[in-house]
Structures are given as structure tokens and as C-alpha cells.
Amino acid sequence: MRTFRALYATLPVFTVTVLLGLLGPVRSLGSGTANLPSEPHLSPAASYLSRLAVQGGAPEAAMLTHRDSPVPHDDYRSTGPGIARDDHFRAGSATKTFVATVVLQLVCEGRLQLSESVDRYLPGLVRGNGNDGRRITLRSLLTHTSGLYDYTADTSARPLSPGAAVRAALSHRPASSPGSYAYSNTNYVLLGLVVRRVTGHDYATEIRRRVLIPLRLTGTSFPGARTGLPEPHGRGYSRDPADGTLRDVTAFDPRPAGAAGELISTLTDLSRFYAALLGGRLLPPGMLATLLDTAPTHGVYAMGIYPQRLSCGVTVWGHNGHIAGSYVRTAATRDGHHVLTFRVNTDTLSDASLEPALLTAEFCPPEEHPGRQARQRPVRQHPTR
């Protein structure tokens, strides 16, 4: 299965080298025994938290589950004191779901059209090296079928603005033919510029007004040039490929991520957002169906959100986020009534099979699916930026 680089892993070599050089090595936090709550009826999904530490090589992990029925219930679990329910952390590409939601709200208002070209809204911006914004639609940006080169793959670039990120992408020929699925952060940087063009406000302002405030997501923010995290927060670590030690990367410049991945959030806020989105609180039914349409990518990706079919036949919807010092994943049932968000405070899981196994344990419990397969089927690896 194809694996995808983390956004942090594709930041310019200069940026990564300086960051690690200034911070220096820290004690390897290893994979000791996880300190899960001692309860007689620990859920199968919660038991995977210790595996994220032991098998996945994460310092610590946390998980929040929410069910609306039969009685609304939240369940929080963690592996140790260094990671907490209310911590703020970098959510990486979960940002894309927020951006896609606002774009489709603007479509509902008649201010954008999915079939219109990028060039209509950003005249002349996407040109050169075989790239032509006149042949790229907003729909293709949302579904990663534009063919545009992913600017984060260019390790010689250090884009600190959306314009610089686009220029870095356009210095390369298209990465794929238009219409074929190829995940590219450039698509969502362009969508952020489109939102600014039609509203007069940057994407962060529009997301705050349209999503964060109505849903009371008080733990979610867009840092801009701020290098730190809001309080409370724990530490974020990245494993040095040279010697395996973990280095503290809690503070860094998030501007290269932009509309593709700069979001800071909490377990509670991410769970609440995806529940509200899938539950129809942010988009009318027809537009929500458009958001979830995977036809352009043959089932791989929708618009800022993707499905994953589990071995028991259940399909969950959500997104992951993979950025310096943080990996997070939210998955939910189609109606948003059952949501799982888990995170680890490092950007690398050494065992990729843990994630689908954890989702299967949560959404396919034996008592609900007695005939389900004992093992999770192989699944397509999704972007982790």
C-alpha cells in the first residue's frame, strides 16, 4: 500500500535541520507499559491505546468516543499523565474538512460554483509548466483530482505564505493527469485563496464565523505565525531517523501548512465538529451528499473527508492529521451519532495496522457484529498531512 509523507516530514530541509539543531536531543520516551484505567470492562478500542505506545512507538496516546444512543455518552481514555483530554494539539489535515465545509456553504449561497474554474476566481494565478487554472475546477481541488504538484514535496522551498506555496507547486509540472486522484496540499491552499477572494476575509476568519462560533468549538484556533500552542497543552515529539531518539517539536512555525493543515484543536472539538457535520448541522442534505460524493475518486476521497470500510461492513467517515509532533484521527458513522477521535503526541506510528484495528474494535464490537472477520482487511492508506 502506498504511504504518504507527513507535512512535517516534507518541510524544507533547512527548516527541519535548524529546528532539531536548536532543540537538541531529548531522552527517548520509549514504549513502556501504558497506564490505562483499571476497569473490569475495558472496551476493545480502549485496549489499543497501549498498543499505540508499545507497538506504534508513540510516547503517549489518548482517545475520546461519543455515542448518541441509547443515551448520549462520552468516554475518555489515555495512557499517561503527559497527555490530557483538554490538551490543545496540532490537527494537521483535519483542517481540510473545515475548509471544504466553508467552500460548500459558499456554494449554497450562490457565491461559488463547483464547476467553475480556478481561473475565474484567481485569474492568471495558476499558469506555467503545464499547469492551467482554466482547466481546473473547484470540484477538482476539493477532491484532489486537479493534478497539481504538492508543494510540501519540494524540500527546497520554504513557503511562508499561500502565494509562495502556490509558486513552489507551479515550479513543477503537474504530478498527475487532471481527473485522477492524487493528494496534494496545494489544492487546499488554493481553496483558502478562493475563500478570501469571494468573501474579503481569510479562510480562518470565515471558519471561525461559520463553524467554530456556532458549534462553540472554543478549543479550536488558527495560529497563523504563532509558534506555540494555547494552554493547556502537552509536548509533541518527532523521532530522529538517525538514532531513534525523540525530539521535542512542540513549537514551530505553522505557516507552511496554511489552509492545508494549520489547525489547532482538542479531542472534544474535533469529535463535536464531525458529529455536527455528518449530522446535518452545517450543510443542507443535498450539499452534504455532495461533500460525501466519492465518485470522482472511485471511492477513495470525497471533499475534505474520506470513507473507510471496515471488515464488518461498517463505513466510517472522517480525516486524519499528521504534522510535527502530532497524529490525530477522527472517524464517525454516517449519521454522526458515533464518533471516535484518537491522538498520539508524535508524528510517526511505526505500525500502520494499528489504526484500522482500533477503528474495527470500536465500530465493529463482537456483540453487535458476531459474524465479523477476526482480522481487519487490508485498507488503502490515506493521506497523513
pLDDT higher at 46 or 43: 46
Instruction: Quick: pLDDT tens for 30-39.
Output: 333 344 443 4
Mean pLDDT over residues 184-192, rounded?
98
**How far is residue 43's CA from residue 320's CA, in Å, rounded to a whole number?**
22
Residues noted as catalytic: 93
Give the pLDDT confidence score for residue 348 in this predicted structure: 80
pLDDT number for residue 368: 61
Torsion, Cα of 131, 181, 1, 326 (10° steps): 80
Average per-residue pLDDT in the chain? 86
Tell me what pLDDT residue 12 has. Answer: 38
Give the residue among 28, 154, 300 at the shortest CA–CA distance from 317: 300
CATH number, position 57: 3.40.710.10
Average pLDDT over residues 1-11: 37
Q: Which three cell numbers stand for residue 49?
A: 491505546
Query: What average pLDDT does the segment 365-374 reach?
Result: 57
Mean pLDDT of 79-87: 93
Does pTM top 0.75 for this prediction? yes
The phi, psi pair for 318, rounded to 5°, reads 165, -155
Report whether pLDDT(124) > 90. yes
The answer, yes or no, to whether residue 24 has pLDDT greater than 70, is no
> Would you say 382 and 320 are in contact if contact means Cβ atoms under 8 Å apart?
yes
**pLDDT given for residue 14 in this prediction:** 30
Q: Cα angle at 83 between 77 and 89, to 5 degrees?
A: 110
- Separation of alpha carbons 142 and 139, rounded Å: 5
Q: Determine, yes or no, domain membership for 238.
A: yes
Predicted local distance difference test score (pLDDT) of residue 240:
85
pLDDT value at 190 more than 70: yes
Residue 366: all three cell numbers together: 463482537
β-bridge mates for residue 306, sequence order? 318
Q: Looking at residues 101-127, what average pLDDT do you find? A: 98
What's the average model confidence in pLDDT over 343-360? 91
- Mean pLDDT in residue range 228-236: 97
Q: Does residue 71 form part of some domain?
A: yes
Number of compact structural domains in the chain? 1
pLDDT digits 0-9 by tens, 171-186: 999 999 889 999 999 9
Nearest residue to 362 (alpha-carbon basis) of 302, 312, 320: 312
Tens of pLDDT, residue by residue over 242-280, are 888 899 999 999 999 999 999 999 999 999 999 999 999
Strand partners, 320: 329
- What pLDDT, on a 0 to 100 scale, did the predictor assign at position 70? 76
Answer yes or no: is pLDDT of 6 > 50.
Answer: no
**Cell representation of residue 81:** 499523565
Place of cell 457484529: 369
**What pLDDT, on a 0 to 100 scale, did the predictor assign at position 371?**
52
Quickly state the pLDDT bin for 373 (edges 50, 70, 90): very low
pLDDT confidence of residue 29: 29
% of the chain with per-residue pLDDT over 70: 84
Distance CA 355, CA 344 (A): 11
**The pLDDT value given to residue 50:** 87
pLDDT band at 212 (very low <50, low <70, confident <90, very high): very high
Its domain, for residue 320, covers 8-94+205-363
In the block, residue with C-alpha cell 469529535 = 271
How far does Cα 66 stand from its chain's mean position? 19
CA-closest candidate to residue 195, choices 174, 209, 182, 184: 209
Is 164 domain-assigned? no
HEC secondary structure over 8-29: HHHCCHHHHHHHHHHHCCCCCC
Comparing 26-35, 131-140, 265-274, 313-322, the range with the smallest average pLDDT is 26-35
Percent of the chain with pLDDT over 90: 72
pLDDT of 129 > 50? The answer is yes
- 348 lies in a domain? yes
The answer to whether position 104 is within a domain reads no
